[in-house]
Amino acid sequence: MPLSKMSPLLIKAKNEGYAVGSFSVANMEMVLGVLKAIEETKSPAIIQIAEVRLKQSPLEVIGPLMVAAAKNAGVPVAVHFDHGKTEEKIRQALDIGFTSVMFDGSHLPFEENCAFTSKIKQIAAEYDADCEGEIGCVGGSEDGSENIAINCTSPVQARDFAKASGVDALAVAIGNAHGNYKQAPNLRFDILEQTASLVDVPLVLHGGTGILPDDFRKCISLGIHKINIATATFDSVEASVKKTYEQGGINGYYDLQAAEVQGAYENAMKHIEIFGCAGKA
C-alpha cells in the first residue's frame, strides 16, 4: 500500500462519517505498535510528530523511519508534521517525505496566522503535500511545558481563514486541550456545529487524550474527521512497560521493546474502535 496523503483519508472519513486517528510517535516501537493495530483492523491512519518533540526524537532520525514504515504498511498511512513552528523544520519534514504538515499560528493575530499558513500551504503544494492550520487556541502545549489558555474558535473566522489560507484541514478549539485533563472537558459542541456548517474542509480535534468516548463520537457526528492522540500513546507505552516489569515479564531488552510496542498497539486499538475507522482502509 503506498504512502498516502492526508486529504484523501480525511475526505473519505468526512463522506462516510468517521474519524481518522492521528497518532503521535517518538520511536520505532510506537510506530510498530500503531501499524500492528491499523493493519489488524484494516484502518487508515496518520502517524505524526510535533516540532516540540524533536529534541528527544530528531527529525532526521525519526522522520525517515516513519516514512519507510508508511510505505511498507498494508493500509493507507499518511505521515504528518504536527504543530510546526518554523519554516526550516517544516521544509525538512517535506524533504524527508512527510505527506502533510501543520503550521501552528494559533498564537498569532488572525491576519498573520492566515498569511503564514497560506505561505506554508504553498510550500507544501510544491511537494504535493497537504497543509493543516489552526484557528482559535487549543489549551496547553504539545509537550506540557506551557499552560496556554483555551481560546475557542470563532466559526466566522474559521470560514474566512479556511478560504484565505487554502488549508486541507483545520484544527479548531472547542474547549479541548493538550495533555491529561484534570477532569473531563466541557466541549463547546455548539461552536463545532456552527463551524462545520461554514467550513468545507475536514475539521481536526487536538488534545484527544482523556475526552470521553461519547464526546468523541458526538464530535465526529458534528464534523471532526481527524483526531490527534499523543499523550495517551505515551502514557499507554509507559504503563505497559511498568506492568510488564511488575509481572516479571522483562528479562532483557527485547522484552522491553515488546512491552513498548504492546502499549502503543493497545492505545491505537482503543481509539480505532471509538473513531469508527475499522474496516475503512
Residue 75 lies in domain: 6-275
Q: Does the active-site annotation cover 160?
A: no
Is residue 281 situated within a structural domain? no
The domain total for the chain is 1
Q: Which of 82, 130, 168, 215 is catalytic?
A: 82
pLDDT at res. 59: 98
- Residue 130 main-chain phi, psi, to 5 deg: -100, 165
Choice among 4-13, 89-98, 172-181, 240-249 with the minimum mean pLDDT: 172-181
- pLDDT digit string (tens) for 86-128? 999 999 999 999 999 999 998 899 999 999 999 999 999 999 9
Q: Which residues contact 225 (CB under 8 A, 6 or more apart)?
A: 10, 13, 14, 18, 19, 20, 202, 203, 204
Is residue 1 situated within a structural domain? no
This model's pTM is above 0.75: yes
Is residue 96 situated within a structural domain? yes
Given the DSSP bridges, would you call strands 169-172 and 130-135 parallel, antiparallel or unpaired? parallel
pLDDT at res. 106: 86
DSSP state of 210: T
pLDDT at res. 71: 97
C-beta of residue 275 within 8 angstroms of C-beta of residue 21 = yes
- Looking at residue 124, which CATH number applies to its domain? 3.20.20.70
